[in-house]
Amino acid sequence: MPTAVIRRSLPHATVHPGIFPTAIRLRSGAVDADGYRPLATLVARRVEERVAAEPGVARALVVGIGGGVAVGKSTTAAYLAELLRPVTVEIVGTDGFLLSNAVLEARGLLWRKGFPESYDDTALRGFLLAARRAGTDLAVPVYDHQTYDVVADVLRPVPPSAVIVVEGVNALRYAAHLDLGVYLHAEVQHMEAWYAARFLDLCEQPPPGSFYEHFRGLDLAGREAVARDVWRSVNLVNLREHILPTRAAAAVVVEKAADHTVTRTSVVERA
φ/ψ (deg, to 5) at 47: -65, -45
Q: How confident is the model at residue 181 (pLDDT cuts 50, 70, 90)?
A: very high
What's the pLDDT at 8? 54
Q: Does domain 5-270 have CATH number 1.10.10.10?
A: no
φ/ψ (deg, to 5) at 196: -60, -40
Ordered by start, the domain boundaries in the chain are 5-270
- Rounded Cα–Cα distance for residues 60 and 10 (Å): 24
The predicted-structure confidence for 200-248, as pLDDT tens digits, reads as follows: 999 988 878 788 888 988 999 999 999 999 999 999 999 999 999 999 9
* Percentage with pLDDT > 90 across the chain: 74
The answer to whether residue 153 scores a pLDDT higher than 60 is yes
Question: Is the link from the previous residue into 141 a cis peptide, with omega within 30 of 0?
Answer: no
Residues 86-109 have a mean pLDDT of 97
- Rounded Cα–Cα distance for residues 165 and 62 (Å): 6
What's the pLDDT at 168? 98
Q: How confident is the model at residue 2 (pLDDT cuts 50, 70, 90)?
A: very low
186 Cβ contact list (under 8 Å, min separation 6): 67, 68, 71, 72, 194, 255, 256, 257, 258
What's the pLDDT at 215? 93
- In order, the DSSP letters of 9-75 are EPPS--S-GGG--SEEEETTEEEE-GGGHHHHHHHHHHHHHHHHHSTT----EEEEEEESTTSSHHH
Average pLDDT of the chain to the nearest whole number? 88
Question: Strand runs (DSSP E) across 159-261, as ranges?
Answer: 163-167, 180-185, 252-256
Q: CA 112 from chain center: how many Å?
A: 19
The answer to whether residue 9 scores a pLDDT higher than 60 is no
112 Cβ contact list (under 8 Å, min separation 6): 104, 118, 234
